[in-house]
A and B are shown apart, each in its own frame.
Chain A
Amino acid sequence: MTERPVRYAEVGDLAARIPVSVVWELTLACDLACNHCGSRAGRRRRDELSTAECLDLIRQLAELGTRDIGLIGGEAYLRKDWIELIAAITEAGIECGLQSGGRNLSEDRVAKAAAAGLKGVGISIDGLRDVHDALRGVPGSFDLGLAAIRRARAHGLVATVNSQVNQGSLPQLREMMDVIVEAGATNWQLVLTVAMGNAADRPEMLLQPYQMLELMPLLAELAREARSRGLFLQLGNNIGYFGPYEAALRDLSDDELHWAGCSAGDSVLGIEADGTIKSCPGLPRPYAGGNVRDRSLREIWEESEPLAFTRRRTVDDLWGFCRTCYYAEVCMGGCTWTAHSLFGRPGNNPMCHYRALEMDRKGLRERLVKVRDAEGLPFDHGEFEIVVEPARTREPDRIVIHG
């Protein structure tokens, strides 16, 4: 029996509302130039937390019962104190992982991070060489990423690959799996590219809702094959929901597990490099619950209303297809980050397998069309409309649902 990762929340964690899993953007400085980057990372924020502030935040997280911290960026390793922070997280009894593009995750950096207590490294691989390098904006980044995976494995770290699923990578997923297995990764986490930040400027890269009909059977097939090759496929929170592959895809070792709604603000917490606290690291500013420079983390976590949106949401807050869906009460519209980035508000998420199947059953499909550009700021988004059209044509019908 595989041991459950400590970042997985149990019912008791939800009842006590423990921020079990924390995603911490240590810096917005980045050495890649990704075409899909939601935070439009590149330069560090002007007012990122100091080392002393970070150490105090780690102490506060430990007090709240956090069990897992995933360091992200930008590139977390571009902060000079990142090793010191990994050591402090480990010392506090919290598991620490690093999510990285891997471009400059050198032997020296990996060795020091492993010695400081780093448990795992997640490296982004978003397609085969040409697709990946084009998405990441740096020629050679594919090979550097694979080298980082091998380095992590050599130092005994758990190696995960994180992949964006979009128009570029969808046709390459099967071949990508071969590359990932060959590199020695043991986990493969997939997430749909979300129409936020740089991706909002490139809507042509986004999957269309009806492509869930292609994606989900493929993932189910790959998950079975991956497992026989020692690789565990994990769905990101914006891939689902329900439909005939839910049991097979959510957790291969327990087919009673299913999507139970977003846990942002209930067991998941996000931190921006300037100390802003959000319930999910991907969400835009209206979801910010406060800043640890102004209030204690406990006050923000326990009292801030913007962090409470998953607890406050009812079926009456849903709209469009999601409002009357069979699974509405459990699902609550799937990933808020995905829906809000498309329509400027949550509660209606067309990127859903069950929904695509129901539309297909009626001979229809949904297609997203961008109607407003993003402003060009970190975590911003444009606006999309859903065009409902006959399933087997590209000619739009006259039904348009506004956001």
Chain B
Amino acid sequence: MAEPGRIPPELILCRGCRQFVFAGRSDCAFCGGDLDALAAEHEARLAEVRRAAEALRAALAGHAPAS
């Protein structure tokens, strides 16, 4: 049976300064931002982009030339 390989500690991406920081912290070691709040803002922005993209797709489908 092979000895397990090395599994490194987990890092998460700070959505404020885009530096990786160790998971489990509440504030970013680089910009001092609130990691959870920044992640929530990021998710909200992503959801907005997805909704806009969906609306654009639907609008384009409505104007598709007849084949």
Assess whether A301 is in contact with B20, with CB atoms less than 8 Å apart: no
> A281 vs B37: C-alpha distance in the bound complex, in angstroms?
44
A residues 254-278 touching B (CB-CB < 8 Å): 255-256, 258, 260-261, 263, 265-267
Count A-B contacts at CB 8 Å.
60
- Does B13 touch A at the CB level, under 8 Å? yes
Residues of B within 8 A of A326 (CB): 29
Assess whether A266 is in contact with B8, with CB atoms less than 8 Å apart: no
Assess whether B18 is in contact with A330, with CB atoms less than 8 Å apart: no
Q: Mark A1-38, 1 if CB is under 8 A from B, else 0.
A: 00000000001011111000000000000000000000
- Does B59 touch A at the CB level, under 8 Å? no
> A244 vs B21: C-alpha distance in the bound complex, in angstroms?
12
- Does A329 touch B at the CB level, under 8 Å? yes
Assess whether A16 is in contact with B29, with CB atoms less than 8 Å apart: no
Residue in contact with A302 in the complex, picked from B3, B6, B13, B19, CB distance below 8 Å: B3
> A246 vs B17: C-alpha distance in the bound complex, in angstroms?
12
- Does A247 touch B at the CB level, under 8 Å? yes
Chain B's closest residue to A331 (CB) is B8
Assess whether A247 is in contact with B4, with CB atoms less than 8 Å apart: no
Residue in contact with B4 in the complex, picked from A16, A243, A329, CB distance below 8 Å: A16
Nearest CB of chain B from residue A287's CB, rounded to whole Å: 16
Residues of A within 8 A of B13 (CB): 247, 255-256, 258
Residue in contact with B5 in the complex, picked from A243, A256, A267, CB distance below 8 Å: A267
Residues of A within 8 A of B19 (CB): 242-244, 246
Residue in contact with A310 in the complex, picked from B4, B6, B18, B20, CB distance below 8 Å: B6
Assess whether A17 is in contact with B2, with CB atoms less than 8 Å apart: yes
- Does A311 touch B at the CB level, under 8 Å? yes
Chain B's closest residue to A258 (CB) is B20
| 22 A–B contacts from the bound complex (CB under 8 Å) | A11-B7, A14-B6, A15-B4, A15-B5, A17-B4, A242-B20, A243-B19, A246-B20, A247-B13, A255-B13, A256-B12, A256-B13, A258-B11, A258-B13, A260-B8, A266-B5, A267-B5, A302-B2, A302-B3, A310-B6, A311-B6, A330-B11
- The 4 lowest CB-CB distance pairs between A and B, nearest first, are A266-B5, A14-B5, A17-B2, A17-B5
